[in-house]
Amino acid sequence: MKTVFTPGQMKEIESFTRIQRNMTEVELIKEAGIRSAEFFLAEMKPKIAERITILSGPGNNGIDAIEMALELKKKGYAPFLVLVSHEEIESFEIIEEFLRVSGPEQLEPFKLVIDQTSIFVDGLFGTGLSRDVSGIYKEIIQLMNDSGKRIYSIDIPSGIDGENGLERGISIHADCCGVIGFLKTGNLLGDALDSSKVFKVIEMEMLIPEHIHGLTYLEEEIIPSIPRPQNSYKYNYGNVLSIGGSPGMNGSIQLAAMAALRCGAGLSTVAFPKKERATFTLVYPEIITKNFETIFGFEEIIRNYTGFLFGPGLKLTKNSSLYLEKVIETKKPLVIDASGLDLLSVIHFPLHQTIVLTPHVGELARMSHLSRTDILEDPIKHVREYSKLGFIIVLKGPITIVSGMEETILIRSGNPGMATAGMGDVLAGMILAFLQKKIPPFVAVKQAVLLHSMSGNLAREEKGEDSLIASDLFQQIPIILKRGQKHETPARDSKNTSNR
């Protein structure tokens, strides 16, 4: 578990740290340079004779790079410094060997430097970048990316927006990024995960003011199991209903229903219109099916369930909103996914009910009447707008954002092989099952998202990314869940039986 801050929050943290530790800005930068040099040597493992070229741009990130060069020189290396800026560097010792690049006329000398370089250190831009990269900076980044040489980035790959992780026209493709102090939102969101093969936090003594609250970032954790009493039966663990499916899309609702069973639900049922029964082929025999013809028949069906999923594979009709309203009236935990999300603008939602929304970026854009670009510019803000209304919202992506009334967290969402049909349906069913457990709803959603991610990663080990499909997770979910079991099952005999 790590804490993530925005670039604005980091500026406050750095200022507070300097005051509390009685340091100047220069002293804090020098410390960052020393820590960066140590980390760089440990991760990149350069040989003493290798040519290390350090690029220093404008601002504090560039000064960090200079301090890193000085520290490497003290350790016996001979770094070559490239100053890419019109600004004069003051108050810092400059190593003897350097090239200043301030315009196109210096590109030819820089190309000669590339030929002699083994490893680049990228200190062009820091987390404050929020505009497109242009001019000489764009050309230098392109040359570095095309060089085939190893690249290490200080704090964030240059060209990545420090706030939302979007690539601003072009960005460094780093082999490793050493993030100083704490992760920033730009290290995780948007294009960030494609801009660096590896990113790790460089530990520093940074002090956080009481009024600043970061986000929690999770990659994996043990999912604790709740022991089942011997004297129990299926209705103790949730009787859940998934509503959706349509001709050609019946697989989605079955994936969700099966995922609920794999995550511990006692019974899992799929409901769909009776007129579609002829086109429905049951894939998993453990799933129960129900049909309805009218809204009154639907009300009869939903009466005794303990939780609902609405939307996967659903073909919207003029009555779809009425069906969703009837589910809401039960006041039972509800997950809304896929087509169900398109009904949000015409439905009244009570705040006393646990309702989880599971959109991807495109669906959140439609829900919010915005463009995808609008959402990606500030995804955390748009997610929080829904959580303030009382929802728990799960914005699916490479980094999934989970937000409730009290907390917003970021979760590394598996791997690119999970970008395939049905993965979101499996997640929705997993969340539905976890909402049946005797744990707080937000914790339930967090654990389901983590389990989905970890199961996808385990499946990748066996299948690879190209061949991964949604149902592959069903074999991996039990393996992950078993890790959280801490109890011993008593030996059974003829007198030790359970009702099923």
- Tell me: the pLDDT tens digits for 363-403? 999 999 999 999 999 999 999 999 999 999 999 999 999 99
Chain center to CA of 292: 38
| Residue range 93-147, pLDDT digits in tens | 556 667 888 888 889 999 999 999 999 999 999 999 989 999 999 999 999 999 9
| pLDDT computed for residue 102 by the predictor | 81
Q: Are residues 424 and 336 both part of a single domain?
A: yes
Residue 463 and residue 292 in contact, taking contact as beta carbons nearer than 8 Å: no
Give the whole-number percent of the chain exceeding pLDDT 70: 94
| pLDDT computed for residue 89 by the predictor | 55
- Residue 221 domain-assigned? no
For residue 86, name the pLDDT band (cuts at 50, 70, 90): low
For residue 342, name the pLDDT band (cuts at 50, 70, 90): very high
For residue 349, name the pLDDT band (cuts at 50, 70, 90): confident
- Residues forming beta bridges with residue 176, ordered by sequence position: 152
The residue written with tokens 């996914």 in the block is: 337
| pLDDT computed for residue 351 by the predictor | 67
Q: Are residues 147 and 249 both part of a single domain?
A: no
What CA–CA distance (Å, rounded) separates 293 from 314? 15
Q: Are residues 210 and 238 both part of a single domain?
A: no
- Residue 148 domain-assigned? yes
Which of 88 and 109 is assigned the larger pLDDT?
109
Asked whether residue 500 carries a pLDDT value surpassing 50, the answer given is no
CATH no. for residue 119? 3.40.50.10260
Asked whether residue 56 carries a pLDDT value surpassing 80, the answer given is yes
The residue written with tokens 């129960």 in the block is: 288
The residue written with tokens 């140590």 in the block is: 38
- Residue 344 domain-assigned? yes
Q: Are residues 141 and 244 both part of a single domain?
A: no
Q: What is the pTM of this model?
A: 0.94
The residue written with tokens 């670009």 in the block is: 373
Which of 218 and 492 is assigned the larger pLDDT?
218
Contacts 24+ apart (CB under 8 A), 382-389: 383/408, 384/408, 386/357, 389/349, 389/351
| pLDDT computed for residue 99 by the predictor | 87
CATH no. for residue 395? 3.40.1190.20
Q: Which residues contact 29 (CB under 8 A, 6 or more apart)?
A: 60, 63, 64, 67
| pLDDT computed for residue 491 by the predictor | 43
Give the mean model confidence (pLDDT) for residues 255-259. Answer: 98
- Residue 222 domain-assigned? no
Residue 80 and residue 53 in contact, taking contact as beta carbons nearer than 8 Å: yes
Question: Torsions phi, psi of 30, nearest 5?
Answer: -60, -40
| pLDDT computed for residue 100 by the predictor | 85
Residue 264: domain span: 234-482
Q: Is 390 left (phi over 0), alpha (psi -120 to 50) or beta?
A: left
Residue 136 and residue 84 in contact, taking contact as beta carbons nearer than 8 Å: yes
| pLDDT computed for residue 60 by the predictor | 84
Sheet with 80-83: strands ordered across: 98-100, 80-83, 52-56, 119-123, 150-154, 176-180, 199-202
80 membership: H or E segment, kind and range: strand 80-83
| Residue range 423-435, pLDDT digits in tens | 999 999 999 999 9
| pLDDT computed for residue 98 by the predictor | 78
- Residue 192 domain-assigned? yes
For residue 493, name the pLDDT band (cuts at 50, 70, 90): very low
Q: Are residues 126 and 249 both part of a single domain?
A: no
User: % helix / strand / coil in the chain, to the nearest 5?
Assistant: 40, 20, 40
| pLDDT computed for residue 348 by the predictor | 79
Q: Are residues 188 and 268 both part of a single domain?
A: no
Q: Of 158, 181, 214, which residue is a domain's last?
A: 214
Question: Torsions phi, psi of 400, nearest 5?
Answer: -85, 130
- Residue 140 domain-assigned? yes
| Residue range 154-187, pLDDT digits in tens | 999 999 999 999 999 999 999 999 999 999 999 9
Q: Are residues 183 and 244 both part of a single domain?
A: no
Asked whether residue 412 carries a pLDDT value surpassing 90, the answer given is yes
Report which listed range, 22-31, 80-89, 151-160, is most confident: 151-160
For residue 497, name the pLDDT band (cuts at 50, 70, 90): very low
What CA–CA distance (Å, rounded) separates 262 from 257? 9
Q: Are residues 314 and 419 both part of a single domain?
A: yes
Lowest average pLDDT, out of 14-23, 56-65, 265-274, 373-382, goes to 56-65
Query: What's the mean pLDDT when you consider all of the chain?
Result: 93
What CA–CA distance (Å, rounded) separates 277 from 88? 75
For residue 498, name the pLDDT band (cuts at 50, 70, 90): very low
Lowest average pLDDT, out of 334-343, 427-436, 491-500, goes to 491-500
- Residue 494 domain-assigned? no
Asked whether residue 199 carries a pLDDT value surpassing 80, the answer given is yes
- Residue 225 domain-assigned? no
- Domains of the chain: total: 2
Residue 376 and residue 190 in contact, taking contact as beta carbons nearer than 8 Å: yes
Q: Of 179, 214, 249, which residue is a domain's last?
A: 214
Q: Is 110 left (phi over 0), alpha (psi -120 to 50) or beta?
A: alpha
User: Dihedral of the CA atoms 73, 76, 79, 83 (nearest 10)?
Assistant: 0
67 exposed, middle or buried (CB, 10 Å; 0-12, 13-18, 19+)?
buried
| pLDDT computed for residue 406 by the predictor | 87
Q: Are residues 176 and 247 both part of a single domain?
A: no
Could you give the C-alpha distances from 243 to 272, 275, 381, 428, in angstroms and in order? Answer: 6, 15, 30, 12
Q: Are residues 380 and 348 both part of a single domain?
A: yes
| pLDDT computed for residue 61 by the predictor | 86
For residue 492, name the pLDDT band (cuts at 50, 70, 90): very low
Q: Are residues 129 and 189 both part of a single domain?
A: yes
What CA–CA distance (Å, rounded) separates 374 from 384? 14
| pLDDT computed for residue 489 by the predictor | 44
Q: Of 167, 182, 214, which residue is a domain's last?
A: 214
For residue 487, name the pLDDT band (cuts at 50, 70, 90): very low
Q: Are residues 138 and 257 both part of a single domain?
A: no
